[in-house]
Amino acid sequence: MTRVAFLVSKDPVTEHGGDIELARVVMRLAAESFDIRAICLSDEPPGDSVVDVVKGGLKLTRVAQHPVKRGQLLAGAVLQRRSLVHIRFDTDELLEEIEASDEDVFFCEHNYMGESFIRSMHFDKKGFVVNTINTESQVWLATRGVLGRVEAPRLLRDELRVAKLADGVGCYEIEESEMYRANGVQGARFMEVTLPPIEQIDISATGQRLVFLGGRDWPPNQEAFLEALRLWPRICEGIPGAELCVVGAKKTGSTDPVYPDRARDMGFVADLPAFLKTCRALMAPIRTGGGVRVKLLDAACQGLPVVGTDAAVGSLKDVFGMSTFDDDDVFVAECRRMLLDRDVAVAEGNRLYETNRQHWADKRPQKSVEALVQAGLDR
């Protein structure tokens, strides 16, 4: 059986967030066809263990993720002419674990996780594929101010360099895969990975509650959170029972603005599927898009209607047939429609759930993962 080593930037047992949630799904799909293990960067003690991430257990090797040393990071970026992100995730400890491995294909979750593999003795001898997750250069450009404007071109240069060295490149955005192909990465492809369907929400039993979902340490989520609070007074006007719940850890070190009436911060919710069963729809006024969009996948796998911008929905509008709402007036009107017309919300929830259920029945997520691994075997 083909052996695949996943190189993961976060600990799949202890970490939360969209990228690691979908990485777990990808590993579970890969485990259906291949013999897999994972090497991850982690704050937990280094070493080998078997963890309950995939059916039958995942063989996991933890490598120390050291705190950022700014001076050392800047010096490395200047001397090696690489971006801060790609320097940050290229470590000698990770290189050592890669060289001690003998898998057939090395599967990098995030473009920058390919840097240590490229330095290894396995480069150009073993299969090497990259699942980009999101275009870091675009996120930095949109959210990191002056530093983002300086780093974005360097990040894009690194992303293209790593992608051109890989045997296959997977993207969670159609436009991103087209960008890579336009820049000479012919093996770039769209990954049709969603979350597997779970028990469907009975939208007819929900109250007039909207939910904003997302950890605000991720800059696009913080930006969208502020948009949600700005729009909420218009959304709930004249609807006495309307409620907005904000779910997800807030930005580290930040002080939230004053919440408008009938909006409240729920923080981290341990049982997210159970909480979403109490909601009428998800609102996602994202302005800076890209990446895995797990908040929308969480909604789709349970049949929770989504009111999202084009940046929020991205390529999922092709997968799920979602409409998008970019203008403030149109966005507000659609949120109000979900709150006021239960039948409309029920119909949209049923449609969304059935679309995702059929997506999995057709094995489209599994075929996407298998095809990317196969690109490493066909090198």
Q: What pLDDT, in 10s, does the model give residues 43-65?
A: 999 999 999 999 999 999 999 99
pLDDT band at 290 (very low <50, low <70, confident <90, very high): low
pLDDT band at 292 (very low <50, low <70, confident <90, very high): low
The DSSP bridge partners found for residue 41 are 63
The confidence score (pLDDT) of residue 112 equals 96
Q: Give the integer Cα–Cα distance in Å for 235 and 228.
A: 10
The confidence score (pLDDT) of residue 140 equals 82
Q: Where are the domains of the chain?
A: 3-191, 203-361
Read off the DSSP letter of residue 93: H
Q: Given a cut of 90, is residue 255 above it in pLDDT?
A: no
The confidence score (pLDDT) of residue 379 equals 81
- Beta strands per DSSP E along 225-366: 243-247, 263-267, 281-284, 306-308
Q: Which residues contact 107 (CB under 8 A, 6 or more apart)?
A: 4, 5, 6, 7, 30, 129, 131, 372, 373, 376
Query: Quick one: which H or E segment has residue 337?
Result: helix 328-340
Q: Given a cut of 80, is residue 251 above it in pLDDT?
A: no
pLDDT band at 363 (very low <50, low <70, confident <90, very high): very high
Is the entire prediction scored with pTM above 0.85?
A: yes
Here the tokens at position 155 are 């990040």
The confidence score (pLDDT) of residue 214 equals 86
Please check whether residue 113 is in contact with residue 132, taking contact to mean a CB–CB distance below 8 angstroms. no
Residue position matching structure tokens 């729809």: 281
Q: Given a cut of 80, is residue 77 above it in pLDDT?
A: no
Q: How confident is the model over 311-326, as a mean pLDDT?
A: 93
Q: pLDDT digits over 86-125, tens only?
A: 999 999 999 999 999 999 999 999 999 999 999 999 999 9
Q: How confident is the model over 217-223, as a mean pLDDT?
A: 83
The DSSP bridge partners found for residue 211 are 245, 282
The confidence score (pLDDT) of residue 377 equals 95
For 219-249, letters b (16+ CB in 10 Å) and e give: bbbbbbbebbbebbeebbeeeeebbbbbbbb
Say which CATH topology domain 3-191 has.
Rossmann fold (3.40.50)
pLDDT band at 219 (very low <50, low <70, confident <90, very high): confident
Candidate CATH numbers 1.10.10.10, 3.90.960.10, 3.40.50.300, 3.40.50.2000; the one for domain 203-361: 3.40.50.2000
pLDDT band at 330 (very low <50, low <70, confident <90, very high): very high
Please check whether residue 275 is in contact with residue 269, taking contact to mean a CB–CB distance below 8 angstroms. yes
Query: Quick one: which H or E segment has residue 58?
Result: strand 58-64
The confidence score (pLDDT) of residue 240 equals 94
Q: Given a cut of 90, is residue 3 above it in pLDDT?
A: yes
Q: How confident is the model over 181-186, as a mean pLDDT?
A: 95
